[in-house]
Structure formats: C-alpha cells, structure tokens
Chain A
Amino acid sequence: MRRARAAVLALLAASAWAAPGDARRSGFEDMGASTQAMQREDAMNPAMLWAAEGEQLWGRAPSASSRSCAGCHGEPAALRGVAARYPAWDEALARPVDLNTRINLCRQRHQGQPAWPAEHEQLLSLETLVGLQSRGMPVAPRPDPRMAPHAARGEALFRQRMGQLELSCAQCHEERAGGRLAGSPIPQGHATGYPIYRLEWQGMGSLWRRVRGCMAGVRAEPFAAGSVEFTQLEAYLANRAAGMAVETPGVRP
C-alpha cells in the first residue's frame, strides 16, 4: 500500500497539481525548488511531525470512559477521501462545517471531550493525519443542494472588498495572481494543502490561520474560527479548487 502510494506521489510530483490545460496553479508552483523539495519528500516535510503525533492520538482514548478515534473509525486509512470533500453539511447543526470543526464535534459528541481551541497542536495533528489520507486525490466537494447557497455566499465574500485597505480576496488572488506583493509572489490561493507547515510561522497552521493573516493584513476583522462565514468562504474555495489534487500536508513560505 505504501509503495503504491509512493508511486502515485512520485507521478504527481513530476506533474502539475492541476490537469494540463487547466489555468489553475497550486501555490506549490510559486515556491522555490528547495521549498518544493521539503513538501515532496516525507522525510523532509516538517508537517510529518504533526502527522506522526496524529497517529499517536488516533489510537489513544482521551479518557477511560471514551473510545479512541480508532475505536469508531478503525485505521486512519479508512478516512481516505474524507478531507477531499470538506467542508460538508452537518445534519445536527444544519450548517456546513470544516474538517477541524468536524473533528471537534466528534470529540464532543462521541468522546465526551471539550472542543479544542483553534490551532491547538493536537487538533492540527489530527487534521494533518486525516488530510494526509486524501493526499493525491482530487478536491471533491459533494454536490449537495444544501451547500449551494453557502458556497454562493462564500464566493460573495471572496469578491467583497474588506477592511481599511478595502481589498477583496479576488483582487489579489484572481486579478493579480502571478504578480508580486512586496517581493513575494501572489499565488492563486487554492487551499489544497491545508493544514500547512508555513515557513513564516515556523510551524503548522490551518486555512483559518492563513486567512486570518490575510484579513488582518487588509485591516479587516478576521472571521471567527469555525464560523459560518468562514466555512462559507472555505466551501467556495473547495468548489474553486475542485479537481485539483489534495497536497496535505503542504509546505508554504
């Protein structure tokens, strides 16, 4: 299984993350060769420290009276394809949720544990482990009519000018993608590698952390972690990147 995966990854590494003829580019293409090498090889990807931690957490029951993740899900590989279809609809909350909200809901509903706060190291570790199971698969949000109005709202947010600087996501990541901002290349902003090991953070972080940085950068009030608004934006981004390969865990500058 590992060898087959390695072969698939080697093929993917040789080709682009989007199909030929597709105008979409992963942020991977905008990085220098040595940063790309860090992502390409598990022995060089610092995010694998978090994946290894995730594997430990997966098999450990959080308390004597609760099950471990493995107790319900079996092996992590059983979640192959799951990260690729998030964010997804949650029946009980009657709204879309992203992957780390879903992990926290599992903790609360099935393990009797409190939700981890945003960017908690253990939450990132599990998010990395689950995301890794979808690596190489196409981003594939399920066509769910309940998600459609939320993804539409997410697109509106993507195009809405925000903050004191009155800039929208689209103005940088659509109109000026390929250009530069203060010396750094502007990527198209496809969220295919999250959670990522970001060189700027010298650590691991979720898409929410990255978007918070962007929103603070334009002097806007960032969306709250796990909020409906943020999840709507995420739902739009998933549709926008549909078909591109999941790169989790990515490395980015």
Chain B
Amino acid sequence: MAARTLIQFPATARRGEVVQVRVTIAHPMESGFRPGMDGRPLPRDILRRFACRYNGETVFSAELHPAIAANPYFAFHLVADQGGTLEFEWQGDHGFAQVERRPIQVA
C-alpha cells in the first residue's frame, strides 16, 4: 500500500521560471535510537534516498539519514523549461520504494 504523499508545485509555469517544489511523504523515519516500551531501541526503518526527475533527468536528489524528521518534507527548486512529467521517487529500508508522477505545463 502506497504511503500518503503531498506534492505541490505550480501546475503551469512560464518558460524559464524557477519554481519551488514541496513534497511530503508519510513515513515514520524510525531512527533506530528510540527506545520502545521495553527500553530496547526500535529497529531502524528510514527512507534513504529521494529524487525528482524532470522528463527523465534528475534535477534534485537527496541521501537521507536518521536525523531527517518523520514524514519527511523537502522543498527545492527547478527551472521550468518544458512541459512534461515530474517524477518523484523515494527509496528506503526494507525494500521501500514509491514513485509518484505529476504533469507540469510550461507556457
């Protein structure tokens, strides 16, 4: 079952405009340092990588560590040069993999 995501960026942009993209994904980012009810640390379960591809080309990527807060949020920028698809990919522990796609229109 896919994790909930929030993805926001201008649906249409002017050619050459620098736009901000903001994404959130629901994920506990269990650090591996937090004690459970028995006092022993809960096992690590985090997202490790995030990438945004614009018409197939990576325009932003991140390597993540347990210091990233739960329900990870990223805001970054890209130059809107042509219409097409933004693809967002998250990868993490225990084989976590999720891809979301959104259209972007450039006038």
A48 close to chain B: CB less than 8 A: yes
CB contact list, A25-76 vs B, under 8 A: 42-44, 46, 48-49, 52-53
Cβ-closest chain A residue relative to B72: A46
Cβ-closest chain A residue relative to B8: A43
Contact A202 B4 (CB under 8 A): no
CA distance A60 to B4 in the complex (A): 16
Contact B73 A44 (CB under 8 A): yes
A185 close to chain B: CB less than 8 A: no
Interface residues on B, range: 10 to 19
Contact B24 A46 (CB under 8 A): yes
Instruction: Kindly name the residue among B4, B8, B22 whose own CB sees the greatest number of chain A CB atoms within 10 A.
Output: B4
Given contacts A52-B4, A52-B6, A53-B4, contact A202 B73 (CB under 8 A): no
Contact A49 B6 (CB under 8 A): yes
B26 close to chain A: CB less than 8 A: yes
List chain A residues, Cβ under 8 A from B6. 42-43, 48-49, 52
Contact B22 A49 (CB under 8 A): no
List chain A residues, Cβ under 8 A from B71. 46, 49, 202-203
Contact B26 A43 (CB under 8 A): no
List chain B residues, Cβ under 8 A from A53. 4
Interface residues of A, count at CB 8 A: 10
B42 close to chain A: CB less than 8 A: no
Q: Mark A208-224, 1 if CB is under 8 A from B, else 0.
A: 00000000000000000
List chain A residues, Cβ under 8 A from B22. 43-44
B70 close to chain A: CB less than 8 A: yes
Say how far B102's CB is from chain A's closest CB, in angstroms.
13
CA distance A17 to B8 in the complex (A): 26
B69 close to chain A: CB less than 8 A: yes
Contact A49 B24 (CB under 8 A): yes
Contact A202 B26 (CB under 8 A): no
B41 close to chain A: CB less than 8 A: no
Cβ-closest chain B residue relative to A46: B71
Given contacts A43-B6, A48-B6, A52-B6, contact A202 B24 (CB under 8 A): no
CA distance A44 to B4 in the complex (A): 14
CB contact list, B8-26 vs A, under 8 A: 8, 22, 24, 26
Say how far A38's CB is from chain B's closest CB, in angstroms.
9
CA distance A53 to B73 in the complex (A): 17
CA distance A49 to B22 in the complex (A): 13
CA distance A53 to B26 in the complex (A): 11
B35 close to chain A: CB less than 8 A: no
Which residues of A does B touch, CB under 8 Å? 42-44, 46, 48-49, 52-53, 202-203
- Add 9 more A-B contacts to A46-B71, A202-B70 (CB < 8 A): A43-B6, A43-B24, A44-B24, A44-B73, A49-B4, A52-B4, A52-B6, A202-B28, A203-B70
Show 30 A/B contacts (Cβ-Cβ < 8 Å), sorted by A.
Answer: A42-B6, A42-B8, A43-B6, A43-B8, A43-B22, A43-B24, A44-B22, A44-B24, A44-B73, A46-B24, A46-B71, A46-B73, A48-B6, A48-B24, A49-B4, A49-B5, A49-B6, A49-B24, A49-B26, A49-B71, A52-B4, A52-B6, A53-B4, A202-B28, A202-B29, A202-B69, A202-B70, A202-B71, A203-B70, A203-B71
